[in-house]
Amino acid sequence: MKVVIFAGGLGTRIAEETDTRPKPMVEIGGKPMLWHIMKIYSHYGFNDFIVCLGYKGFLIKEYFMQYFLHNSDITIELGSNKLDVHYTNTDPFKVTLIDTGLSTKTAGRLKRVKQYVGDEDFMLTYGDGVSNIDIPELLRFHQSHGKVATVTAIQPEARFGGMELGENGIVRTFKEKPKGDGKWINGGFFVLRPEVFRYLDGDMDAMMWEDDPMEQLSHDGELMAYKHTGFWKCMDAMRDKLELEALWQKNQAKWKLW
């Protein structure tokens, strides 16, 4: 099964990092966020990726063009231009890199890779979120309900602690960074049937996947939610990047399943 990854946005909320590279190429532990996401899928045997490029997409192309070389021990004879590979620690990824437009929105990016997806179910996620999601369990859920689309629903950790106050200012309850407020949000990690492209009819370049397409899927009763209660983190701002880096350095990166 193929995995489509959105990797073309500008990443303006983390401009400190994305001025010179796409957001999915921002590094955690010396590796791009995109690599971490691919390793999650690869852990479960899914290695066929379609990456939707946009902003500075050439840097992602260059990264994968040089991937084997950067992960190998080599000897180069400059006079004869001979290259000997002694050891390689590469990954079994098959990566299709598609330019989907500089300012194309997510619905348009998905539509533009239709020919590469084929006529089978496929997975889709964002290039800035990691999780310890059980992909086989997600797929079993998707296959069980027979609907067009499955979205992974998560309850994000609140940014600040919460208190319940009584009279005279007494604190009745206190909870540091509670797990959401009971609401479930879109966490990516979709599974989609090829029929989803019927919801991408017409010019989609200015349309977000999360707007009309998902709203119409919901209206038609064709969108199901897989509830994930484990770890999930989106690198939306610089503080998120620093938190993810700290988890990696402390060997507490819960998304590191491999």
**Mean pLDDT taken over the chain:** 93
Q: Are 62 and 22 in contact (CB under 8 A)?
A: no
Task: Give, in order, the Cα–Cα distances in Å from 80 to each of 5, 84, 140, 169.
Answer: 40, 12, 54, 80
pLDDT in tens, 204-230: 999 999 999 999 999 999 999 999 999
Task: Give the pLDDT of residue 181.
Answer: 63
Region of poorest pLDDT, from 76-85, 97-106, 153-162: 153-162
Region of poorest pLDDT, from 123-132, 140-149, 154-163, 209-218: 154-163
pTM exceeds 0.85 for this model? yes
| 245: confidence class by pLDDT, cuts 50, 70, 90 | very high
| 18: confidence class by pLDDT, cuts 50, 70, 90 | confident
Strand stretches in the chain, DSSP E: 2-7, 27-28, 31-32, 48-53, 72-77, 82-88, 94-99, 122-126, 129-131, 149-154, 162-165, 171-175, 185-186, 190-192, 223-227, 232-234
Percent of the chain residues past pLDDT 90, beyond the cut? 82
| 170: confidence class by pLDDT, cuts 50, 70, 90 | confident
Task: Spell out the domain ranges in the chain.
Answer: 2-249
Tell me which architecture the domain covering 2-249 has in CATH: Alpha-Beta Complex (3.90)
| C-alpha span between 217 and 198 (Å, rounded) | 10
pLDDT in tens, 38-81: 999 999 999 999 999 999 999 999 999 999 999 999 999 999 99
Which 8-state DSSP code applies to residue 179?
B
| 176: confidence class by pLDDT, cuts 50, 70, 90 | low
| 140: confidence class by pLDDT, cuts 50, 70, 90 | very high
Mean pLDDT across 123-130: 98
Please tell me the number of Cα atoms within 13 Å of 104 on its side-chain side: 23
Region of poorest pLDDT, from 37-41, 147-151, 181-185: 181-185
Instruction: For residue 28, give the nearest of 235, 236, 168, 181 by alpha carbon.
Output: 235
| 182: confidence class by pLDDT, cuts 50, 70, 90 | low
